[in-house]
Amino acid sequence: MNNGNGSVVMKKLSVPVLFLVLGILLIVAGINQKQDNMFMASSVLMFLGSILSLLYSWGNLKTKVLNIIGVFAGVIALVTLGLSWKSVNDTATYNANFTLCRGKAIQNLTDIRYAQKAYAEANGRYAEDWETLVEFVKNGTVPYVVAEGNVPARLITTDERDYLYSDNRAIDNNMSENEAYRLSKSPICPEDLKGFRRDTIQVSLIETKFKNKAYTDSRTVAGFGKFYADSLPYIPFTGGKKKWKMIVKDSVKVGEDYYPAINVSGVIPFAKIQGTKAEPLFFGKITTNETAGSWEDE
């Protein structure tokens, strides 16, 4: 009889004891591994629940008291569940902001690089400050080749050769682009070159690059919003409080030649993994004429 009673007691206590041990192990693991508050709250609730279950199974806790405690524990569980949902939602929002911010930052740096290269082609060096660069983007011009007509797929004639060259070179190859251009401007312009045009004109930088349909559509699809030249210096998601750091040099030696150099860098306000340190984004090196972006090496 005593053995029977002992067996019943063991069965009644086995599950509470199991959850008690598990609760203790989870609390210890949470402390050692520095788990978040949600993990620790769940571990403590399991520990307390196992103690209550153990007391009830042992007969030291009345049903009425257990019900009151159960209601209280249920409220705590609901609060914990709400906090857990909020934590998951906050993490999802953070990750979405990281993805958007990083994408906008890369687009921002790509636009700065494009504008600086255009400025360097026009001036032989990079813009030294943001005011100069933004002004160039707004009002600067870049060369654009207007191409109309095609190069005829034929040899040049002897009269055309005599006009183009001062020798009696053999006419072995079809007309070249340069020959077609020169003949189209000549007084002996043939019929098949009338309307042929290869002229370089100056066009607005902001209109041709930052306001063309392909560019604006790509920003819309990516969720980056409208392009504003005045926003170029600023790191996205910083509310206009933090600028990219820009360093330029008019001349660095690369091999036997000299070139301008540039480096633009900064740290976005989000990390790939929440709670870790954000990695910097940059393009260019101040010691060479290289302008590759850090994101392009990934």
pLDDT in tens, 232-258: 999 999 999 999 999 999 999 888 899
User: Region 65-94: what's the mean pLDDT?
Assistant: 61
Q: Are 235 and 282 in contact (CB under 8 A)?
A: no
pLDDT higher than threshold 80 for residue 262: yes
Q: What is the pLDDT of residue 24?
A: 78
With bands split at pLDDT 50, 70 and 90, how would you rate the model's confidence at 78? low
**Which are the contacts of 232, defined by CB distance < 8 A and separation ≥ 6?**
108, 111, 112, 115, 130, 133, 134, 137
pLDDT tens digits, 17-38: 776 677 677 777 767 766 666 6
Give the Cα-Cα-Cα angle 100, 101, 106 (nearest 5 degrees).
Answer: 100
How much is the average pLDDT of 262-280? 90
Q: Look at the block and give the residue holding tokens 């980056």.
A: 224
**295-to-28, 52, 106, 145, 281 alpha-carbon distances in Å:** 41, 55, 8, 31, 7
Helix (H, G, I), strand (E, B) or coil at 252: strand
Alpha helices in 124-204 (DSSP H): 130-139, 158-164, 177-184
Nearest one of 291, 273, 227 to 102, comparing CA atoms: 273
Q: What is the pLDDT of residue 200?
A: 85
From the centroid of its chain, how far is CA 113? 15
What are residue 198's DSSP bridge partners?
A: 147
pLDDT tens readout for residues 147-206: 899 999 999 999 999 999 989 899 989 999 999 999 999 999 999 999 898 888 889 999
Task: Return d(Cα 74, Cα 70) in angstroms, integer.
Answer: 6
pLDDT confidence of residue 104: 96
Instruction: Please check the confidence at residue 13 and state whether its pLDDT lies above 70.
Output: no
pLDDT digits (tens, 9 = 90+) for 119-151: 999 999 999 999 999 999 999 999 888 889 999
- Please list, residue by residue across 262-273, b when 16 or more beta carbons sit within 10 angstroms of its beta carbon and e when fewer do: bbbebbbbbeee
Confidence (pLDDT) at 1: 45
How far apart are the C-alpha atoms of 36 and 275, rounded to whole Å? 12
Supply the pLDDT for residue 274. 80
d(CA 40, CA 32): 11
Structure tokens at 161: 């050769």
Q: What is the pTM of this model?
A: 0.66
Comparing 48-57, 193-202, 237-246, 264-273, the range with the smallest average pLDDT is 48-57
Residue found under tokens 């607005």: 204
